[in-house]
Amino acid sequence: MKGKIKFFSKEKGFGFVVADDGTEHFLGVREVIGANLPNNGDIVEFESRKGKKGPYAAQLNILTSSENTEQRKDDRVVCPSCNKKMYPKLIHDRGAFGDPKPRKSLCPFCGATVKDFSGCFIATSVYGDFDAPEVLFYRHYRDTVLKTKFLGRVFIKVYYFISPSIVTILERSPHLTRLIKNRLDASVRKASF
């Protein structure tokens, strides 16, 4: 099937492809055919397979590289809903202690949600970045696997309930943060697709 590279980290060797039907697929570097690695926005062709942790892309061919067509200096984002280029508007929530926490970002033209930050509190605070490849990995796992299973849904509810308080503990303990980061790193590496 055909799709578009949503994100690919050459450094980490993995990323995600969104198929034309909207399904997000994990992409490991060894499934890329040819000498060139994909860039964000590349149009690609691949085989959709089902792995233990959700759909993944196999035998991926790059059809159109976005490298030359996309303007490098333009840091605006293309809205997934209306396709206009824009700067997303951040919406904040009040955290447990009155501190502002970004909840999601919206398209200023059509109001569609561009990014949802509400999940993966632990992973996000450990990596300190909403878009760290590892955080995207856990978000993908949550959305494609956990949400479809009953126990997974229960787990997500419990997790959402307890994790804001864990994040507060993490913010005060760099040592614990490092420990958890090592565990998360190991489980990203171990994930067999």
Which parts of this chain interact with Zn ion (CB under 5 A)? 79, 81-82, 107, 109-110, 112
Residue 104 CA to chain centroid, in angstroms?
14
For the bound state, the minimum distance from the C-beta of residue 58 to Zn ion, rounded and expressed in Å, comes to: 32
For the bound state, the minimum distance from the C-beta of residue 113 to Zn ion, rounded and expressed in Å, comes to: 10
Q: Which is nearer to Zn ion, 64 or 81 (CB)?
A: 81
Residue 191 CA to chain centroid, in angstroms?
15
> Which H or E run contains 101?
strand 100-106
Q: Is residue 51 exposed (0-12), middle (13-18) or buried (19+ Cβ within 10 Å)? A: middle
Amino acid occupying residue 51? G
Cα-based distances in Å from 36 to 10, 14, 62, 63, 65: 10, 14, 8, 11, 10
Q: Which is nearer to Zn ion, 81 or 118 (CB)?
A: 81
Q: Which is nearer to Zn ion, 96 or 110 (CB)?
A: 110
Helices (H), the chain: 121-127, 133-144, 150-172, 174-190
For the bound state, the minimum distance from the C-beta of residue 88 to Zn ion, rounded and expressed in Å, comes to: 9
For the bound state, the minimum distance from the C-beta of residue 121 to Zn ion, rounded and expressed in Å, comes to: 27
CA within 13 Å, CB half, 42: 22
Q: Which is nearer to Zn ion, 95 or 111 (CB)?
A: 111
Q: Which is nearer to Zn ion, 112 or 154 (CB)?
A: 112
Distance CA 151, CA 146 (A): 8
Which tokens go with 110? 């059509």
For the bound state, the minimum distance from the C-beta of residue 49 to Zn ion, rounded and expressed in Å, comes to: 32
